[in-house]
Structure 1
């Protein structure tokens, strides 16, 4: 299959699913050229604790707090209509790394069932109707996947700590399997986050897919008892290898502004 067709298939799959295991599936249709990713890491922020009597929001309430079409100019919002991956389907070879794997598989990074997800993509027109010479630019877009999860009592703070500990403890990498698809993370590094919310953990992961390295960026931001998990996917990087792109500040700003 040629690269253009592979990119189209990967784009469709990427919009439909929230999972790092998608990287493995899409790479089989993309370029086999390898690329070394480069990351610039720095420590994330720490912040005050929330009230211990905090109540978790329901999934229905979280869905209303997700960014909707029209909330952010220049972006299209896609509802998450894919089948949900369960935590039991994500097998991680290091327990401390599980919250990192969950966060980048569209799952709550902590102990809760209250979770809602969607994705935002730069509005570059309809790739399906683009001319061949425009396809490369049409697919050179970054999608940002957003997951909201909510926790009882101090569950949100504990989850942020678990993520922070995981970034440190899993710096040398880890492996995980999602529904039969195995991924290898070779490096985890802290990054400077958006500075939004009450506290946040931001990190980059280098993932080897079909012999090439892809760098994915994730940030989990706490606002009271709710966590917003954001990570990026770039279609060009998905097919060729390389950096998936930073989380757009505008997306983080707009999403956190909707949280109460």
Structure 2
């Protein structure tokens, strides 16, 4: 099946990490120098950013999220310069949806959590030749009905975490009617953005759904949540292609958020 450019952006909005196999491996990381020299936050003790090594110790790891396989982000997190919205005010949303930490973090690291569903022992393999078109489509939807969540931890100097989270919150409101964007020249469109109830962890948070226009493939909702734990932001982006195709509701998995929040206490 030929996929539209909108469908391709939907896949890249799952952090270039999604393939039909949904394969995962070991963890990855990244860091950069902070550009925050504004001196803001001087009225209170300036928050100290954690290093990339410290973040790697605090991000979820294999065996720590029941029902999920945790590993590296397949394909990696794209470079910030490769991901941009047509309207700059919506950049924080597109960055969040592609696993890029908003604002100017001092360090960051990412992992992927893929839902592992137990197989029903009564299920028997069926020959493709014996399937009708409808049954084949249903089988594809069921095989892809898995929550895939990219988790990014980012640390900030001073009040950088507060300002980065506010940029996402402001963008949710400013870009509610949708926005267009591109990743490394691959263009696509989100038709709407809606704020959602967050999991309630951390000191403050914002959650939202962005609906991707996948052209001939219909629409695909992407769910995201950004939570501040002191000077660290935990960024969650979840896609479930099978649920999206079947128009079934899904959300950022509570088990993933709970496991990650526990490691940031």
Normalised-by-shorter TM-score class: 0.7 to 0.9
CA distance in 1, matches of 2:155, 2:114: 24
1:137 equivalenced with 2:142 (yes/no): yes
Task: Determine if contact 1:148/1:227 at 8 Å carries over to the other structure.
Answer: yes
Which residue does the alignment assign to 1:197? 202
Decide which structure has the larger Cα Rg and report it. 2
1:187 maps to what in 2? Answer: 192
Partners of 2:153 and 2:234 within 8 A in 1: yes
Structure 1 gap segments, 5+ residues each: 28-49
Select which of 147, 172, 178 maps to 1:173. Answer: 178
Runs of at least 5 residues in structure 2 that lack an aligned partner in the other structure: 21-42, 128-138
Contact 2:16 2:74 in 1 (8 A): no
Deviation digits for residues 35-89 of structure 1, max 9, x if unmatched? xxxxxxxxxxxxxxx9551011122221221111111222111222534411111
The corresponding residue for 1:45 is none
Q: Choose which of 225, 246, 263 in structure 2 pairs with 1:219.
A: 225
CA 1:208–1:51: 2 relative to 1, 3 Å: farther
Residue 31 of structure 1 aligns with which residue? none
Which residue number in structure 1 is paired with residue 33 of structure 2? none
2:54 aligned partner = 61
* TM-score relative to the length of structure 1: 0.75
8 Å CA contact 1:232–1:244 kept in 2: the answer is: no
Aligned match of 1:47: none
Q: Give, in whole Å, the separation in 2 of the partners of 1:94 and 1:117.
A: 26
How many residue pairs were aligned?
Answer: 222
Write the mapping of 1:70-219 to structure 2, written as runs, cut at 5 A. 70-80=63-73, 82-124=75-117, 131-132=125-126, 136-211=141-216, 212-219=218-225
Contact 2:15/2:99 (<8 A) preserved: no
SS of residue paired to 1:56: coil
Distance 1:131 1:180, change over 3 A: farther
1:44 match: none
- How far apart in 1 are the matches of 2:250 and 2:179? 22
Secondary structure in structure 1 of the residue aligned to 2:152? strand
For residues 161 and 107 of structure 1, do their structure 2 counterparts lie closer, same or farther at Cα, with a shift above 3 Å needed? same
Identify the residue that residue 43 of structure 1 maps to in structure 2: none
1:215–1:242 Cα contact (<8 Å) kept: no
CA RMSD of aligned residues (A): 3.1
Q: State how far apart, in whole Å, the 2-side matches of 1:136 and 1:249 are.
A: 22
Change (3 A) 1:51 1:208: farther
Offset at 1:193? 0.4
Larger deviation, residues 203-212 vs 132-141: 132-141
- Which residue number in structure 2 is paired with residue 19 of structure 1? 13
d(CA) in 1 for partners of 2:109, 2:189: 26
